[in-house]
Structure 1
Amino acid sequence: MQRKATFHLYTFLVSKTLSTLGANVYAFGMSLFILAMTGSALSFAANLIFSIIPRTLLSPVAGLLVDRVSKKFIVLSGQLGTILSISCLLIYMTFFDISLPAIYLTTFFYTISSTFTTIAFSASIGNLVDAERIQKAMSFNQLSLSIAGILGPMIGGMLFGFVSIETFLIINIVAYSLALLLESTMNFKLFSSTESSPKESMVQSLKSGIHYIKEMPMIKNLMYLLLWINLFFTSITVGANFIFVNIIKMEYQLIGIVEAASAIGMLVVSIYFAVRSNIKYPLLFSKRAVLALSTLVGTFALPLLIPMTSTIVFIYYLTVMFLFGGSLVLTNTPIGIMIQKDVEENFRGRIYGIIEMFAMGLTPIGTLLFGLLYDVIPAQFILLFCSMALILTTLFLMPRRLIETAYPDLSGPKAKTINPTSPPFR
């Protein structure tokens, strides 16, 4: 079982990297293709909507099915659905000219398939590896995201410039097929603690999932926190390029380097998690990482308040984006570890599904809201307000007493003794 767990660990890394890289390459390449074909930002935004809405609406449904059906079946079916979606677009292009409706339809079904695969895989990590390897598995998950974040735009841009759209799609199909083959070799019940799926209706299953969340204040508050985090973090998603292009007038090549720094920060911190000892207090670790992230949102405003040379501005934002990417991993990895260890196996799918819905729920609203606000309010005021709102929200939803409830030894006489496996910043 230990050898199999090690095999799962590295198979998971390779298959997840292939899938995530394929998704990033496809998203980047198709975005360029839509813009080149139509020249319309609205057409580009419409494709984004077709990738956000299905994921937001179907995440809870995917979570329900993951807790009721074989996780391996859902993972493989989702990967197969992704391959079929892209293959159908390729077949359509062979007989007809490419069209926007065909691309939108492909994005719609592609997103549905990837939603089921992602949630099933996330809920399966505790079944694929033993407890001692969960932190490494979660760090490998973040590692795959950071590798894809760095290489995806590079490969997508190269393929878009040098190969036909048909060849581009074929390369994506091959990448997903390899991931499918690797995942088919994995035993999704290796460390399973349940004998069978719960005998209840879908409605009862959803109700029991909601009741389970209500009985766990940590999870409930965490979900509310994710909802507000993703709303206020949209100020960076929307505002970063607005600041770089419209206010600072940074060169486009330098903007690409600055944005890549975030993925490099994710990569470095993911490697750190893969080699360090297990975190003793994951929720406390994540709380501090969120506070660091919230502070970084405010630091984006500093060059807008204090005059700096263009070179210093570039170095400053390069550093901030690197820290921002690293802090994201510092936030997400401990949360994943906590869910894998503290949530019962029969509820993990529903928890991940609801978390995904909360994480995506306010993103479209935030994108529209901050898109409007940046046109009428100075960017530095928006960023400082969001930073303070994030800090206050985090302190309110993750108070000290909730952390001590999760980790009783923190409130005891030994609370002031720093464990060597506890967070590096306390």
Structure 2
Amino acid sequence: MDETLKLKKATYHLYTFTISKMISSFGAQVYAFAISFYILQLTGSATSFAANLICNLLPRTLVSPFAGYMADKYSRKKIVIFAQVATTLAIGGLLVVSVTSGLSLVAIYTTTCILSITSTFSGVTFTSSITGLVDEKRIQKAMSLNQMSMSFAAIGSPAVGGLLYGAVSMPVFLMVYMVASSIAIILESTMNFNLFSKRKVEEDGAPKETMWQSMKAGLGYLKLQQIIMIMIWISLIINFLFGAFEVGYSYILIEKLKMNSQHFGFTQGSFAVGMLLMSIYFSVRKEVKYPFLVSKRGILALGVIMGSISVPLIITMSYNVMFAYYLVIMFTFGSMIIVVNTPLQVLMQKQIDDDYKGRVFSILETMAMGLMPLGMIIYGFLYDVLPGQWVLVASAALLIAVVLILARPSVVRKAHPELASKGTVSRETGTAV
């Protein structure tokens, strides 16, 4: 294909990819919101609600390695379309059940499991396909637009979910979701997942790897990629230590500081707005020159912000000042998450071989999914037995220490050899001077 036509097709992919991801993210979050409401209204049981969360989390953790294997061995376009079709059929099945016999917990849990599996296959495969869909110069733009679509969904889904749940019946709501999912299928079917792909073509008669051999090969590949391994370890430790924020933020603001529920919602919205605006900024600016270094600085800033959440527990503030303080803190927190994520994702997209992307990203997702619940359980216990401010401060200090050790100046120079040749990385701080 002519290079100009390829670039035009890549531009088309940027928009279809963004719209498709926005539809699927929006649909999934609105569905989760409405179904959570429905379960609580139907049963009034926190256990039933938690069971639905487990039905979302557990299948995702279990099937992620298989999704990575499939993404590396089979047509990524077919996997994405099949996953979206399965999503549409699952919602259709729930619609039939709701019309014929009324929704039951078994039907809801079954649908949640199916949607968790399909979203895992779609998510891992789409992430693995970025470098095949767009040219190398616009990978950052693609990752930023992906983050932007998720931020839009995070901001709008509670409002849309609440509006639809109150205004229409559950069957109508499910039909709207089915239509949206069908539009996503049509968009995905027009995309060329191999436009810039560098995947190796298997020769006829070559010995076939078993799935187990393929997964072992993925782990073997990772062990040889020092910078990628360090990035993965940093990502996993962040996910674990963020349990301090996930558990502590709501606990501190609602239980300790007695913040009004509406004001608490505004602070959560400020977080999503920070993510959205920073995603827009990254989508229009030129590509970050030293992504590993930028992400390192961003993580250090996240550590400082996480520790700052505890300040109103240490220093007395008036209610209005406290509310304004948390609006600013959460906006900055959301912005910094994009500053960390986008450059790291771009670096991983460029450094991981196309034939291993599915397995690498699925390993990362599996480990992260396993660590998040563990972090929440441990921090739930810690907040019950220790003062909340010291849990946050200690976790923030640990996060900063881990990053300073793992992303030390020598590692930064390996990630960006051009910095070492210029002599622009300080040995003490690992920052450009």
- Tell me the SS of whatever aligns to 2:197: coil
Q: TM-score, normalised by structure 2?
A: 0.94
What is the aligned counterpart of 1:273 among 282, 286, 292? 282
What is the aligned counterpart of 1:183 among 183, 188, 202? 188
Measure the CA separation in 2 of the matches of 1:197 and 1:125: 21
Partner amino acid, structure 1, of 2:25: T
Measure the CA separation in 1 of the matches of 2:275 and 2:402: 24
Conservation of the 8 A alpha-carbon contact between 1:224 and 1:358? no
Measure the CA separation in 2 of the matches of 1:164 and 1:325: 34
Measure the CA separation in 2 of the matches of 1:192 and 1:337: 16
Q: Per-residue displacement from partner, 1:267-288 (whole Å, max 9, x unpaired)? A: 1100110111111111111111
Spell out the pairing of 1:5-84 with structure 2 (5 A cutoff): 5-84=10-89
What is the aligned counterpart of 2:358 among 339, 349, 359? 349
Q: Per-residue displacement from partner, 1:50-101 (whole Å, max 9, x unpaired)? A: 1111111211211111000000011011111111111111111122121112
Is 1:105 matched with 2:114? no
Measure the CA separation in 2 of the matches of 1:393 and 1:32: 39
Count residues with an aligned counterpart.
420
Conservation of the 8 A alpha-carbon contact between 2:248 and 2:383? yes
Q: Per-residue displacement from partner, 1:174-227 (whole Å, max 9, x unpaired)? A: 111111111110000111123425842212211111111100111112222222
- The structural deviation recorded for 1:416 is 5.8
Q: Percent identity?
A: 45
Is 1:169 matched with 2:169? no
What is the aligned counterpart of 1:147 among 149, 152, 175? 152
Q: Per-residue displacement from partner, 1:109-131 (whole Å, max 9, x unpaired)? A: 11000100001001101000001
What is the aligned counterpart of 1:212 among 221, 239, 255? 221
In structure 2, the partner of 1:336 is 345
- The structural deviation recorded for 1:376 is 2.1
Unaligned runs of 5+ in 1: 418-423
Measure the CA separation in 2 of the matches of 1:39 and 1:374: 26
Measure the CA separation in 2 of the matches of 1:160 and 1:401: 54
- Tell me the SS of whatever aligns to 1:308: coil
Partner amino acid, structure 2, of 1:235: A
| Structure 2 CA distance for partners of 1:350 and 1:416, relative to 1, 3 Å | closer
Is 1:285 matched with 2:290? no
Conservation of the 8 A alpha-carbon contact between 2:425 and 2:432? no
- The structural deviation recorded for 1:414 is 4.5
Conservation of the 8 A alpha-carbon contact between 1:68 and 1:197? no
Measure the CA separation in 1 of the matches of 2:291 and 2:242: 22
Partner amino acid, structure 1, of 2:323: F
Q: Per-residue displacement from partner, 1:217-266 (whole Å, max 9, x unpaired)? A: 11112222222211110111112111121111111111111101111001
What is the aligned counterpart of 1:313 among 322, 344, 347? 322
Query: Which is further off, 367-376 or 139-148?
Result: 367-376
Is 1:412 matched with 2:417? no
Conservation of the 8 A alpha-carbon contact between 1:146 and 1:263? yes
Unaligned runs of 5+ in 2: 1-5
Is 1:116 matched with 2:137? no
In structure 2, the partner of 1:232 is 241
Conservation of the 8 A alpha-carbon contact between 1:67 and 1:197? no
Measure the CA separation in 2 of the matches of 1:192 and 1:229: 31
Partner amino acid, structure 2, of 1:386: S
Partner amino acid, structure 1, of 2:420: S
Partner amino acid, structure 2, of 1:404: R
- The structural deviation recorded for 1:160 is 1.2
Q: TM-score, normalised by structure 1?
A: 0.95
Q: Per-residue displacement from partner, 1:134-174 (whole Å, max 9, x unpaired)? A: 11001000100110010011101111111111111111111
